[in-house]
Amino acid sequence: MLVIGDSALDAYIAGEVERISPEAPVPVLAVEREEFLLGGAANVAKCLVALGARTTLCTVVGEDADGELFRSEAEGLGIPRLGIWSTAVGARPEDRIVARQQQ
């Protein structure tokens, strides 16, 4: 299978809300764990691999630490690096903050 499209490295930051910030009405999170998952077209490729399909992902990632983490995560799932190209444009991270199952 060949999957072509925009991919993302989704970061989930989970923890407990300890208090409300005194500077603004914003919850302060005590981080307990961070998790990075492949998103977008990479999630489709991940699902195809889980179903047993030989899958190649064609996408572009940044030439930065997040791009390398993306390539490592993909390779660890059985998605070869050969279709994952790098660009000098940095990633646009999308972090999700989770406290008590709420984002």
Question: What domains, with CATH codes, occur in the chain?
Answer: 2-13+36-94 (3.40.1190.30)
CB 69 within 8 A of CB 36: yes
Structure tokens at 57: 């992902």
Average pLDDT over the chain reads 87
Residue 18: the pLDDT is 83
CA–CA gap between residue 103 and residue 88 (Å, rounded): 31
Q: Which residues of 43-76 are buried (b: 16+ CB within 10 A; e: fewer)?
A: ebbbebbeeeeebbbebebbebebbeebbebbee
pLDDT digits (tens, 9 = 90+) for 69-98: 999 999 999 999 999 988 876 555 566 677
Question: What pTM, to 2 d.p., does this model score?
Answer: 0.74
Work out the pLDDT band at 53, boundaries 50, 70, 90.
very high
pLDDT per residue over 1-45, tens digit each?
Answer: 999 999 999 888 888 888 888 888 888 888 899 899 999 999 999
Q: What φ, ψ does residue 95 adopt, rounded to 5°?
A: -95, 140
8 A C-beta contact, residue 27 and residue 21: yes
3-state secondary structure of 89: coil
